[in-house]
Structure 1
Amino acid sequence: MKKTSRQLFLFLLFILICQIGAAQYGLEFASHNMEADRRTSLQIGAKESISFQHKLSVSFDLSFLPFQQDYFGYIFRLITDDGVNIDLLYDRRLDQDKHFKLIVGEDFTPVSFNITPLQLYYNWTPMRLELDADRQQISFVCSGKRYAYPLKRRFASQFKLVFGATVIKNFQAMDVPPMRLKDIRIGENDKPKFYWPLDESMGTKSMDAQRKNTAEINNPIWIKRQRSEWKMQSSFSLEGQASVAFDKNEETVFFVGTKRLMIGKVGGNEVRSQEYADGKLLLVNGSQSLFDPIKKSVLNISIDQKIVTAYDSTSRTWNKQFDFPAVGTNYWLFNKYFSSSDTSIYMIGGYGHFKYKADALRYHLPTQSWDSIPFAGDEIFPHYLAGMGQGRDGVYLAGGYGSSSGDQMLNPRISNDFLKLDFKNHKAWKVYEFSPAFSDRVWANSLVVDDSNDVFYGLTFPNNKFKTHLQLVASNLKSTQYQFLGNTIPFDFHDIRSFADLYYAPKSKSFVAVTLFYDDKTDLTKATIFTLLAPPLPSEQAIMPLAKPALLKYSLYALALLGLFALIWWYRKRRKQKKQAISVMVTDKIGEPHLQAAPLKETEQDKSGQLVHLPQPKKVANGFETRHGAGIYLFGGDLQIVDLAGKEITKKFSPLLKEMLLIFILYTVRWERGISSEKLTELFWSDKSQSSARNNRSVNIAKLNSLLEQLGDFRVTKKSGYWCIEPMDTVYIDYLRFSRMVSNKKYFTETEIRELLDIIDKGGFLFEVDYEWLDNFKSEMSILVLTTLGNFIENLNVQDNAELIIEICNKIFYFDEINEEAMVHKCRSLLQLGYHSLALQCYENFCQIYARLYGEAYPKSFKDCLD
């Protein structure tokens, strides 16, 4: 049971801190690809202008969408009540040296700059506008550079702020660059005033963090929603039974037809067509395409004819032609991958003439030679409709449809095997069998393998329907844990006339799904490209609430009247709640905390809202970076160490040094003194003499301190006979922050509660680390987290805090997957929000896990749980 829980924690952790892509939220702006009235705008101060005194700052994070036709437009317009406009404009004209330009009134200021394409299109760039009314100066800060400009006149201290399209009278502008925006902050006199993260997934309003001001949005495209809903990028038809290839470096999708090559860029709106200069490519049954990243060319493969032809994009010709007409194929829907290490294409499986294949083949491009690869080890199930993907140390093969004998007439079925293939040493072994959830599902052709997180992604679908759907799934490389992600993609499945594939675009941080359907009557293939922003949200969050049924006219009148009364009641309640702060009393160490509502005076409330603490870490693709610099993270599975530049350096520490660092941190924080030399010797060098142990201790502490210099003033030292870390507060340590908040404070504000949730959001406490001495620390932390969170939700009102309760319950499930109280609270909160089907699904998922762990059915019904 402990092992199962650990595996589940490992997988859930990955879903939450998936390192494919940085934190993905914000607002995307509909731009020149849409009609003027369908372009996006965000306005702050629409109903009542924002006012300030002396100094104003406006900051935000910006990025542009790649591969768009037109980038001209206004990023923002700040318009004062006396009619002064301050604009940031992107001027795309090629004859302009600098494209970002700051405008005041009707004049270009000297403030202009560029951002490198890699940064602009594939990363977030922080920007900040500063206004000093007393000195009559404007400044703009971007990429570490400050640009200053003296103003020619005074202006009003009240303003409206608009990003994107502007409809304010006398300042209308519908030119919007294809941009993304997040984390808008407004400060006054060097103090924060408003903050809009833009982390919504629906709606046309965004409330600032203090819930004091609302940003109005027209035609929003929420990035978080793009993490749960596949976006159809383009759909078109081309001649013949087409196939597809993908260049992940250039993020380009190629469609090979008989007359032309169609080319689409991930994130782009257009699909280019290249007609072949030498006539038709005579595509044969079962042929597939693949991209050669070495020669940067598209390949088309026929296993039956032992021909691989390459496309020359300059001459628009193929270097070989197939024999046509062909006599069918034995290799429909085989799996393949390109090996750069030996410049070869490896192929496996396929179907044709009532036979399923388990053959493994190799085509060596330099010598144009074919050979068969005999595999030892576990049996490869003869199949087609499997998924295959290449990892760092092997190739993985998921499922498929076939039969043990290879004969279609003899018990054909879906395979639940998940195999690892070593093509170099010709060995196959079964990693595990998929859970029953996959018993009726086959796979799209390719898997996306993420070795660093021990997970792979694939598209699955039922193969017993024509009108079916593709579902993205993430599954562990080492255990059977899995998670369905995002919503589904419509897919017409007609055996050998249909094809689906999955890719990952690392720059755009997007999954790319491609579907093909060949109509033999018209000899045309319909091709469709879908994209999903990473990291994707679990499918449960992707489900939209069902529309309520139509009611009779008088019922609607009654409901409207009730809604009005409810709105008045809510408004009064919110005003009352603003005069209170949520606080939590926590007993010493692992005592039982309880929620206590403490009415505060206005001055006390204001004071509590300005807490001083280290900022939280921000997740990035290859680890964690912190806004303040160095950090050490113990929540999230394994130890992670980040230097002053925000770069993860954990791999520089040997296993021994990592364990020693953990001991010094945990003993220093937990016991507030450190660890003795005798205890260190007992743990690490008990088999050595006293002098040898002393020497080993000195050498390894010196090595550890040498590495810790990259974190600043932070080292292991001996104090009062104990080895400890000093100074502790120069580096952000999530365990230290959590322990201090929970153990030393009597009261918690709602802000601090959310900070605790952010720390836990990465997952369990060192659950991937197995040291005997660590068990007490881990169990103590689990009890502390569960007790603290359990008492939070026990004292929160579900009518006003449903979303917060759901968030807390999700964190509880990281540490205890069958926590009955959390399940009940989450179901009640989902019902409060109107998500009836999700509440029932939450209950059913709990029952399934309960039955698996205890071998018996959960005794309470859904209704009984909620009574």
Structure 2
Amino acid sequence: MNSRPAINDLIRRSFPYPAVLSLLILIVFSSTSFAQYGLQFASRDADPEKRTSLNITPDKPFCVSQKLDLSFELSFTPGITDNFGYAFRLVNDKKQNLDMLYDEAKKSFTIVFGDAYTNISVPMLYNDVVNRWVKFHLSLDLTHQTISLYCDDKLVQSSNISFKENCFNLYFGATTHSYFKSSDVIPMRLRNVALNVDEKEKAFWPLNESSGNQALDSISGKKATVQNEHWLRPKHSNWQLRTNRTIKSWVSAGFDPVHELVYITGQDTIYIYSAKTAALTAVPLSAKHDLLPGSQTIFNPFNNHLYNFYPDEHDIAAYDAQAQHWEKNFNAAPLTAYWQVNKFFSRPDSSLYFMAGYGQLRYKNLVQRYHLATKKWDTVKTAGEHFNPRYLCALGTTPNGDTAYILGGYGSKDGDQLLNPQFYYDLTMYDVKTSTFKKIYTLKEPAEPFVFSNSMVIDKDGKHYYALINPKDQRNTQLQLIKGSLEKPEYELIGSSFPFTFVDVKSAANVYYCDASKVMLAVTLFTDKDANVTDVKVYSINFPPSGIVTPEVAAPVNTSKKYVFALAAIILAAIAFVVYKTGLFRRKLTTQAAGEKTTPAEMAAAPLTATTNPAAIAPGPPPAIPVITNEYEDITSEQQNRAGVHIYLFGNFEVAASNGENITRLFTPLLKELFLLLCIHSLKYNKGVSPEKLIETLWSTKDTKDAINNRSVNIAKLKSILEKIEDCTLQKEFGNWKLTFDRDKLYIDLDHFLQLFAERTLDNKSLNELIAIVQRGPFLPQTSYQWADSFKSEISSLTIDALLKYCQYLSLPDNAERVINICNAIFAFDELNENALQLKCKSLVSLGRHTLAKEAFEKFASKYKEIYAEDYETNYTKMIS
């Protein structure tokens, strides 16, 4: 277990390229974080010229002969309830339009053709769409002039249409077409836009970009253009500074979770920050309120009142919002003995509780209570396990405030600051009804110690928490969000860190969750006692913040090891960058490609670190890099020439049934993802997927009953489709759903791929079969599933390494055509692979195709500059020499 501030400091002192360092850290710590992505559309919250438009066809329209299938996922933007506007407009040169819009009056999505409503309408309230991704699928049959709409994989309705032109432009949000121009936009979020034309997958835009005004199609590289873009991905990974204000005197803050308001109390003004509008409003007080250092502000969600209290004097004041004043003022008092006190309201006994804190050389563990009805203070006699005196701990409660969780802190066994103070990493539960402390667990002590901000957010599931941490011994430091378990001693760092000025008796930090707006807020305070002012900053990050590792992505690991590995990855990446910038990599590349051949023995000595299929997972030495024979064979294989029953996952997804019929169309987006999830886990791990993990991956936003029902219905649908494929079944095995099939009757390219790499070596025949597989295209290029990312990367690495090793053994010009074909296959996996570029250019030159070689180089250099914003350093002459 380690803290990211410590990691950042260590690397920052050692690495001379801060910009690259930031990118490397983001990549390493966010490698599993991209479930939250998409494009958010500015709508009525922005001026008409600043509203968002996604133009799928900026260059030219796409044409359809018979059938068009358009699918996408949509969600309403939280906090905006007026949702009238267009989702998309499909238009042709005959001035015909097919639109999907949301009718606010009827609370429904409606399909419009021309200037008339069709009979297709999907009633959906704001709350049905704001908290989840709704999957829409529009099927346009030009042969029969009909249109059908599916919502969450269920047919809504079909309707007749009459298109006179079969080439279309497609716009989401604001329409920029000269004839159909419109700024009426649904305040929505959009992702996973897929186009199938005439039963073939044409394009897929995940909309997983982080910046820029273009969206890339992952199938063919087409670029859609975006105006007034608001990408979701960085909003889930980076904290954004929303407001920064310097306020006179001591200041404290409280949070209203119902209305999502942060109250920042000053001596003559209350500032109110709204998470829904991101606006800060100043409300002047009708009478000055003296805020003593150490006083605290807290909002009671059970009676909707704001309170300010001073724990030393057992004094509390309620705020009168109508009169704009506090009901009482505090008298001057000695320096507080309760810095950083933790507090909460409990609904069962209508009381304010506070505990922990520090002052006058003593750490505190008393539990004190103020009863609102009787206006009496008392000290609670507690039972259960001993709660060591401490401060700088985080506290969060259950929704009713009947249970409090206290995490970590800094203190000592008997409270004396001089007697062995130490960091605490225990999670303790306090039961209000029984006044009992119970320790749940203790986190493993980190390499670099840290303390916690004052508050903690308990997740809706009641199993996880969110808290902010920072080093105790640094003034100018960073706050870092963590997510942990309330049941097991596990946590992970999520999101970016952000600045924090920390002095324990001058600073405060709190984290809050806004359920309606789906954001988390962090409020930091720092008081300059000499100037008598407090700096107040409010940060936000979209919820859920990125970096959450789900069971489908990675199994739980020891936290300390996890970040040691991450640190090692950063250092290795940094070294690679330095080597690259100094030209060592290019010199090595040029030397080897210019004529230094790798022998079969040298290839066999190199380790292969990727995981292969179950047959290769047994204990023993890792497989070797392929040993290539010196024989030449044409790229042919029985798999490439195979007709009939097959499932292709490389290139366009394709399924052919036993009768030779292409049944790919039967797989809706959801059924396709379900099938791929089961297929990959059955082939690679030989164990299938548990029912629980199916729900976690595909239906995590639904309640348990609906999720189980959805799983059952879609499993049944998938079984029905698989009945069309001979000897391919879906069945329960040891509690998991698993795909089984007969290799003699069904060919699955992924299965054959894994078999090839399960062997200790790849001979010439195996390489021919590998090339035949990958010439169809990359593995699942049209998908953007978080759970599949690491496996797709593994397949790419295996393929590229094997093919490059093979090319090194082929002489030019005898094998030039073969090398060119292989390099083209490599580019499908990695379009900026320098080894493949050099091999391809040299092969073309050896055949006398100098113009083609120069064009290939210039295309590569152009793409390189587009992606890295710098010129490709190696020139053409050096490349082919």
Query: For this structure pair, what is the TM-score category when the shorter chain's length is used for normalisation?
Result: 0.5 to 0.7
Task: Pick from 391, 411, 415 the counterpart of residue 384 of structure 1.
Answer: 391
Task: Pick from 595, 598, 610 the counterpart of residue 654 of structure 2.
Answer: 610
Give the superposition deviation at 1:232: 3.1
Q: 2:393 & 2:383 partners in 1: Cα distance?
A: 20
Q: Deviation string for 1:652-703 (max 9, x for gaps)?
A: 9xxxxxxxxxxxxxxxxxxxxxxxxxxxxxxxxxxxxxxxxxxxxxxxxxxx
Task: Pick from 135, 160, 165 the counterpart of residue 156 of structure 1.
Answer: 165
Structure 2 residue aligned with 1:533: 543
Give the superposition deviation at 1:61: 2.4
Structure 1 residue aligned with 2:235: 226
Cα separation, partners in 2 of 1:388 and 1:733, compared to 1, 3 Å: farther
Cα separation, partners in 2 of 1:454 and 1:81, compared to 1, 3 Å: same
Q: 1:463 & 1:297 partners in 2: Cα distance?
A: 33
Q: 1:307-318 to 2 correspondence within 5 Å?
A: 307-318=315-326
Q: 1:112 & 1:635 partners in 2: Cα distance?
A: 33
Letter in structure 2 aligned against 1:351: Y
Structure 2 residue aligned with 1:600: 640
Q: 1:735 & 1:618 partners in 2: Cα distance?
A: 21
Does 1:84 find its partner at 2:96?
A: yes
Task: Pick from 427, 432, 436 the counterpart of residue 418 of structure 1.
Answer: 427
Q: Deviation string for 1:79-126 (max 9, x for gaps)?
A: 32444344445687xxx6668676666778897887422224333334
Structure 1 residue aligned with 2:848: none
Task: Pick from 640, 648, 652 the counterpart of residue 704 of structure 2.
Answer: 648
Q: Which runs of 5+ in 1 are unaligned?
A: 1-14, 566-582, 625-631, 653-706, 715-727, 757-783, 815-820, 835-867
Cα separation, partners in 2 of 1:523 and 1:192, compared to 1, 3 Å: same
Give the superposition deviation at 1:16: 11
Cα separation, partners in 2 of 1:247 and 1:271, compared to 1, 3 Å: same
Structure 1 residue aligned with 2:605: none
Letter in structure 2 aligned against 1:289: T
Letter in structure 1 aligned against 2:690: L
Give the superposition deviation at 1:468: 0.9
Structure 2 residue aligned with 1:279: 287
Q: Deviation string for 1:115-139 (max 9, x for gaps)?
A: 4222243333344545454565666
Cα separation, partners in 2 of 1:307 and 1:453, compared to 1, 3 Å: closer
Q: Deviation string for 1:14-49 (max 9, x for gaps)?
A: x9999xxx9633222345666777654322232342
Q: 1:742 & 1:312 partners in 2: Cα distance?
A: 75
Structure 2 residue aligned with 1:306: 314
The two structures have a TM-score, normalised by structure 1, of 0.62
Give the superposition deviation at 1:445: 1.0
Q: 2:747 & 2:167 partners in 1: Cα distance?
A: 37
Structure 2 residue aligned with 1:676: none
2:654 alignment partner, SS class: coil
Q: 1:713-792 to 2 correspondence within 5 Å?
A: 737-740=737-740, 747-749=747-749
Q: 2:135 & 2:431 partners in 1: Cα distance?
A: 45
Letter in structure 2 aligned against 1:523: V
Letter in structure 2 aligned against 1:285: P
Structure 1 residue aligned with 2:337: 330
Q: Deviation string for 1:558-606 (max 9, x for gaps)?
A: 99xx9xx9xxxxxxxxxxxxxxxxx998879999999999662597799
Q: 1:482 & 1:204 partners in 2: Cα distance?
A: 36
Q: 1:670-685 to 2 correspondence within 5 Å?
A: none
Cα separation, partners in 2 of 1:530 and 1:237, compared to 1, 3 Å: farther
2:454 alignment partner, SS class: coil
Contact preservation (8 Å) 1:588, 1:743: no
Q: 2:157 & 2:785 partners in 1: Cα distance?
A: 45
Cα separation, partners in 2 of 1:121 and 1:173, compared to 1, 3 Å: same
Structure 2 residue aligned with 1:720: none
Give the superposition deviation at 1:534: 0.7
Q: Deviation string for 1:136-177 (max 9, x for gaps)?
A: 5666666979577765x6432111212234444555555644
2:505 alignment partner, SS class: helix
Give the superposition deviation at 1:386: 0.9
Q: 1:133 & 1:506 partners in 2: Cα distance?
A: 44
Task: Pick from 44, 53, 57 the counterpart of residue 41 of structure 1.
Answer: 53
Letter in structure 2 aligned against 1:293: P
Structure 1 residue aligned with 2:262: 253
Structure 2 residue aligned with 1:516: 525
Letter in structure 1 aligned against 2:547: L
Cα separation, partners in 2 of 1:790 and 1:410, compared to 1, 3 Å: farther
Q: 2:100 & 2:715 partners in 1: Cα distance?
A: 40
1:436 alignment partner, SS class: coil
Contact preservation (8 Å) 1:589, 1:743: no
Root-mean-square deviation (Å)? 5.9
Task: Pick from 463, 474, 496 the counterpart of residue 487 of structure 1.
Answer: 496
Cα separation, partners in 2 of 1:812 and 1:480, compared to 1, 3 Å: farther
Q: 2:744 & 2:240 partners in 1: Cα distance?
A: 48
Letter in structure 2 aligned against 1:740: T
Give the superposition deviation at 1:524: 4.4
Q: Deviation string for 1:382-433 (max 9, x for gaps)?
A: 2221111225884322222233343444444433333333343333344443
Q: 2:45 & 2:740 partners in 1: Cα distance?
A: 51
Cα separation, partners in 2 of 1:424 and 1:517, compared to 1, 3 Å: same
Contact preservation (8 Å) 1:307, 1:322: no
Letter in structure 1 aligned against 2:234: R
Cα separation, partners in 2 of 1:350 and 1:801, compared to 1, 3 Å: same
Q: 1:183-222 to 2 correspondence within 5 Å?
A: 183-188=192-197, 194-201=203-210, 205-208=214-217, 210-211=219-220, 213-218=222-227, 220-222=229-231
Structure 2 residue aligned with 1:701: none
2:230 alignment partner, SS class: strand
Cα separation, partners in 2 of 1:420 and 1:112, compared to 1, 3 Å: closer
Q: 1:337-348 to 2 correspondence within 5 Å?
A: 337-348=344-355
Letter in structure 2 aligned against 1:52: V
Cα separation, partners in 2 of 1:213 and 1:464, compared to 1, 3 Å: same
Letter in structure 2 aligned against 1:298: L
Q: 1:450 & 1:231 partners in 2: Cα distance?
A: 22
Contact preservation (8 Å) 2:246, 2:535: yes
Structure 2 residue aligned with 1:25: 37
Q: 1:121 & 1:617 partners in 2: Cα distance?
A: 20
Does 1:123 find its partner at 2:132?
A: yes
Structure 2 residue aligned with 1:503: 512
Letter in structure 2 aligned against 1:185: A
Cα separation, partners in 2 of 1:641 and 1:207, compared to 1, 3 Å: closer
Give the superposition deviation at 1:239: 4.9
The two structures have a TM-score, normalised by structure 2, of 0.61
Count of aligned positions: 667
1:495 alignment partner, SS class: coil
Cα separation, partners in 2 of 1:745 and 1:588, compared to 1, 3 Å: farther
Structure 2 residue aligned with 1:59: 71
Q: 2:702 & 2:785 partners in 1: Cα distance?
A: 32
Q: 1:813 & 1:359 partners in 2: Cα distance?
A: 54
Letter in structure 1 aligned against 2:312: D
Q: 1:312 & 1:343 partners in 2: Cα distance?
A: 19
Q: Deviation string for 1:33-71 (max 9, x for gaps)?
A: 667776543222323422213443433222222335986
Q: 2:575 & 2:59 partners in 1: Cα distance?
A: 30
1:400 alignment partner, SS class: strand
Give the superposition deviation at 1:339: 1.7
Structure 2 residue aligned with 1:440: 449
Structure 1 residue aligned with 2:4: none
Give the superposition deviation at 1:638: 11
Q: 1:752 & 1:31 partners in 2: Cα distance?
A: 49
Contact preservation (8 Å) 2:108, 2:123: yes
Give the superposition deviation at 1:488: 0.6
Cα separation, partners in 2 of 1:517 and 1:642, compared to 1, 3 Å: closer
Cα separation, partners in 2 of 1:434 and 1:641, compared to 1, 3 Å: closer
Q: 2:238 & 2:428 partners in 1: Cα distance?
A: 30
Contact preservation (8 Å) 1:62, 1:181: yes
Contact preservation (8 Å) 1:391, 1:450: no
Cα separation, partners in 2 of 1:813 and 1:200, compared to 1, 3 Å: closer
Q: 1:745 & 1:312 partners in 2: Cα distance?
A: 78
Q: Deviation string for 1:189-217 (max 9, x for gaps)?
A: 67765443334555655444644654344
2:738 alignment partner, SS class: helix
Give the superposition deviation at 1:358: 1.6
Give the superposition deviation at 1:378: 3.7
